[in-house]
């Protein structure tokens, strides 16, 4: 039996859920809300919904337990076969052709529930990638419900999850584990599960890996959002995609106005959205506060075997680094970031507040003109403003002050590349590789926001290849 919910408390719950999680409960869905809240109250052990509201407002684990009752995890492998047909026949051939040089793909399952969707992506890639080539694949899987993520990491499923999966596919990619089936470790390693709230402005960011995506699947998630939140999510997805990247949403979600920045591609049984190839590579966003997700670890690439085809383990590599120089500097992780003007400048830049970032950098340089990282921050600010000559000088000063400041050398190479000076750009990238060769491969490069020396070297080599 559902617990009573007054009109005033109903409005309070609606406001809290919309603000914190983007979940909209209009009057027509009031009974759904009452039922879910009643279940949450019993699960948490409170007697009435007023007490539940107080406990949820406190946040923490109790908030997460309640959200677990309010979010739906109903999904199964290869759900909506027409969209996976479009993935195999239209999206992946396009991405594989365009990424034939760097052999790197980045996918995001946003609202992944218990994991069937990202694992379906991994299985589809296993059949689509060329068997005679080495490809690096990373699949980011995020959800608001941490209980779902725990189940997804287990990769253990009952027969109901396979109701649209051919038996041959299940036998190829899974093995029996008691009465259920567990996914092969080779595919599990491709996917990293992290909590992320799509209603929060915490993406795209280099720090949580939500940048330079080639494909985003976000199906049957925004149907629970109000119109304003859905628009904001679509805008942030646009920023998270690389030029030419694809967005797949649920059948009930396509809206010409919401996705007007995208190209629309109509296929049998599927509507796809694509960020134009001519779009700027980097889009300034206001990320708000850092997300809880962390960038995945670097894993050296392996050769994709020919039979049975099993994708390489998870890695980020070149495309995650590709956004680095045109993205605000990494978020501050110090305990008291604003005690240092430079740390305040980093935080401001990460929020897209460029005027504040510039003032903080100038203040730092006036007091301590020999700080290499301050000149690097100024270089990023100037590059964002289109002042390429001044940015080049700032990057050059950072390297002059600290010969081991690799990011300054990389910044210089990027500026030369933008200016069309391929000779200097190549020279700069070779200098970056020389400096990185002195570092332990899996150690983060200072000033990079966690990018490892191996990842940065892979990016530099890919840029050299592109320059010829």
The CATH code of the domain that includes 418 is 1.25.40.10
Q: Are residues 192 and 114 both part of a single domain?
A: yes
Q: Which of 293, 317, 341 is the last residue of a domain?
A: 317
Q: Are residues 272 and 216 both part of a single domain?
A: yes
For 75: left if phi > 0, alpha if psi spans -120 to 50, otherwise beta; the answer is beta
Q: Are residues 202 and 336 both part of a single domain?
A: no
Q: What is the DSSP letter of 259?
A: T
**pLDDT, average across residues 90-101:** 91
**Residue 69: is its pLDDT beyond 50?**
yes
For residue 349, give every residue at least 6 positions away whose Cβ sits within 8 Å of its Cβ, in sequence order, or none.
Answer: 328, 329, 357, 377, 380, 381
Q: Could you tell me if residue 337 is inside a domain? A: yes
Burial track 354-377 (b if 16+ CB lie within 10 A, e otherwise): beebbbbbeebbeeeeebbbbbbb
Q: Which of 70, 89, 109 is the last residue of a domain?
A: 70
pLDDT band at 95 (very low <50, low <70, confident <90, very high): very high
Q: Which of 317, 352, 383 is the last residue of a domain?
A: 317
Q: Could you tell me if residue 2 is inside a domain? A: no
For residue 10, give every residue at least 6 positions away whose Cβ sits within 8 Å of its Cβ, in sequence order, or none.
Answer: 30, 33
pTM exceeds 0.85 for this model? no
Q: Are residues 236 and 96 both part of a single domain?
A: yes
Q: Could you tell me if residue 76 is inside a domain? A: no
Q: Are residues 62 and 85 both part of a single domain?
A: no
Q: What CATH number did the domain enclosing 52 receive? A: 1.10.155
Q: Are residues 145 and 191 both part of a single domain?
A: yes
pLDDT of residue 321: 52
pLDDT of residue 83: 95
Q: Are residues 104 and 49 both part of a single domain?
A: no
> Mean of the per-residue pLDDT values for the chain?
80
Omega before residue 204 within 30° of 0, cis: yes
Q: Are residues 21 and 41 both part of a single domain?
A: yes
Percent of the chain clearing pLDDT 90 (strictly above)? 29
Q: Are residues 138 and 25 both part of a single domain?
A: no
pLDDT of residue 72: 63
Among candidates 376, 315, 377, 304, which has minimal Cα distance to 344? 377
Three-state DSSP state, 452: strand
Full residue range of the structural domain in which residue 376 is found: 324-467
**Residue 143: is its pLDDT beyond 60?**
yes
Radius of gyration (C-alpha) of the chain in whole angstroms: 24
Instruction: Give the count of domains, the chain.
Output: 3
Q: Are residues 168 and 133 both part of a single domain?
A: yes
Q: Could you tell me if residue 342 is inside a domain? A: yes
Q: Could you tell me if residue 365 is inside a domain? A: yes
Tell me: the pLDDT tens digits for 168-185? 999 999 999 999 999 999
Q: Are residues 198 and 276 both part of a single domain?
A: yes
């Amino acid at each position: 039996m559902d617990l009573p919910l007054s009109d005033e408390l109903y409005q309070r719950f609606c406001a809290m859920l919309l603000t914190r999680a983007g979940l909209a409960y209009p009057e027509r869905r009031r009974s759904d809300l009452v039922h879910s809240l009643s279940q949450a109250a019993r699960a948490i052990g409170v007697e009435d919904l007023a007490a539940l509201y107080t406990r949820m407002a406190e946040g923490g684990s109790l908030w997460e337990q309640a959200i677990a009752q309010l979010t739906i995890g109903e999904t199964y492998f290869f759900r909506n076969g027409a969209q996976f047909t479009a993935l195999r026949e239209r999206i992946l051939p396009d991405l594989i052709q365009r990424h034939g040089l760097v052999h790197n793909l980045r996918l995001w399952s946003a609202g992944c529930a218990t994991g069937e969707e990202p694992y379906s992506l991994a299985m589809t890639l296993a059949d689509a990638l060329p068997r005679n080539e080495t490809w690096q694949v990373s699949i980011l899987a995020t959800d608001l419900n941490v209980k779902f993520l725990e189940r997804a990491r287990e990769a253990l499923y009952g027969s109901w999850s396979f109701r649209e999966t051919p038996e041959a596919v299940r036998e190829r990619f899974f093995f029996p584990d008691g009465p259920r089936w567990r996914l092969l470790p080779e595919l599990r390693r491709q996917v990293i599960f992290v909590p992320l709230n799509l209603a929060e402005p915490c993406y795209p960011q280099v720090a949580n890996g939500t940048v330079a995506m080639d494909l985003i699947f976000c199906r049957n998630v925004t149907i629970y959002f109000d119109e304003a939140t859905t628009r904001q999510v679509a805008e942030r997805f646009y920023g998270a995609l690389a030029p030419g990247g694809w967005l797949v949403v649920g059948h009930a979600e396509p809206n010409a106005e919401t996705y007007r920045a995208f190209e629309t591609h109509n296929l049998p049984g599927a509507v796809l959205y694509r960020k134009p190839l001519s779009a700027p590579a980097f889009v300034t966003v206001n990320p708000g506060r850092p997300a809880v997700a962390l960038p995945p670890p670097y894993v050296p690439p392996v050769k994709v075997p020919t039979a049975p085809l099993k994708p390489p383990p998870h890695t980020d590599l070149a495309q995650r680094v590709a956004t680095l120089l045109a993205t605000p500097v990494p978020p501050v992780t110090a305990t008291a970031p604003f005690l240092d003007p430079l740390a305040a400048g980093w935080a401001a830049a990460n929020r897209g507040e460029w005027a504040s970032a510039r003032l903080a950098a100038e203040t730092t340089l006036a007091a301590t003109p020999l700080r290499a990282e301050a000149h690097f921050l100024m270089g990023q600010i100037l590059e964002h403003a289109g002042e390429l000559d001044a940015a080049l000088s700032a990057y050059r000063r950072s390297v002059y002050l600290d010969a081991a400041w690799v990011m300054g050398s990389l910044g210089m190479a990027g500026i030369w590349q933008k200016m069309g000076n391929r000779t200097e750009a190549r020279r700069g990238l070779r200098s970056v590789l020389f400096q990185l060769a002195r570092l332990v491969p899996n150690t983060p490069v200072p000033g990079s926001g966690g990018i490892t020396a191996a990842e940065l070297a892979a990016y530099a080599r890919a840029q050299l290849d592109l320059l010829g």
